[in-house]
Amino acid sequence: MPEWYYPDTVKKTLQLIRQDNTIIHAGGTFILKRNLGKLDGIVDIHRLPLNYIHNNDDYIELGGLNTYSTTIDKLKQIAPEHILIKSLFKAASPPLRNRITLCGSIRAFPIWSDIIGPLIASEAQLILATDLGEKIIPIDEYLAEIKQFKNALILAVRIPKDNWQSKYIRPSRTTFDYSAFNISILWKGNSKNLEDIRIVIVGNSKKYFHPMEFEKVLLTNPINKIELAEQIKNIDIKFGNKNLGNGNYIRKLFDVMLERAIAEI
């Protein structure tokens, strides 16, 4: 059986996670799916002071050990309509929201993730602890090179403050089941004059997708003048088979739900 470690500093944590066959324990939900007998060590990071929130004029910074539930509670005091509140409130079941941490969920990045889309759309940054010191990196760059950061620790998530309106869509069989996909939409302006829009889809065959060409169409024409169904069919995105149906059905469901969401802006 693996040995458990309880470091109380970031330096000790980094030394431990460099060891072979050693994993980090934050919320513990993914440990349940591991064969613990093949591990040499488990590093419990709950003694690190990472359960905080900082708020200033430019950004909101959330410590990596905030759970989904504490993130919702803390963000409500600052930005009650934030897309992260909408997405995390729909994620998993209440007991799991009390366990799943920001750092663990981002590091694991399951295909059904309810946190990745809103963070990419918000252009969030991660604060990492590495052997070379702290590093701040955009979340999409982190995900693209995630293997490079195997021995790094996510200390915090930094989200720029801006006056976005937002929608979050996640079709699933039940309210707390894994979603077939999810769509994060941020925008400024209205249907006749969009000033900016960001759309991120999570759960497709490449895990996530940012349809920039479709965004350009929305920004250069009033929404009611766009053939939305036709434009959405042109989005180059594919889905595998999911609990809700096969890939072809999921693609049709995606087309319908995205069209409805954009039409409601």
The residues, any chain, with a CB within 8 Å of residue 50's CB and separated by 6 or more, are 63, 64, 65, 66, 103, 155, 156
Q: How does pLDDT run along the chain (265 residues), one tens digit per residue?
A: 899 999 999 999 999 999 999 999 998 887 766 777 889 999 999 999 999 999 999 999 999 999 999 999 999 999 999 999 999 999 989 999 999 999 999 999 988 899 999 999 999 999 999 999 999 999 999 999 999 999 999 999 999 999 999 999 999 998 878 999 999 999 999 999 999 999 999 999 999 999 999 999 999 999 999 999 999 999 999 999 999 999 999 999 999 999 999 999 9
Query: How much of the chain is in helix, strand and coil states, percent to nearest 5?
Result: 35, 25, 40
Domain boundaries in the chain? 3-44, 53-160, 165-264
> Residue 261 has what pLDDT?
98
Select 53-160's CATH number: 3.30.465.10, 1.10.287.40, 3.30.300.100, 3.10.110.10. 3.30.465.10
> Residue 30 has what pLDDT?
74
183, 203, 161, 148: which is closest to 262 by C-alpha?
183
What is the helix (H) or strand (E) element at residue 165, kind and residue range? strand 165-169
Select 165-264's CATH number: 3.40.109.10, 3.30.390.50, 3.40.50.1820, 3.40.50.2300. 3.30.390.50
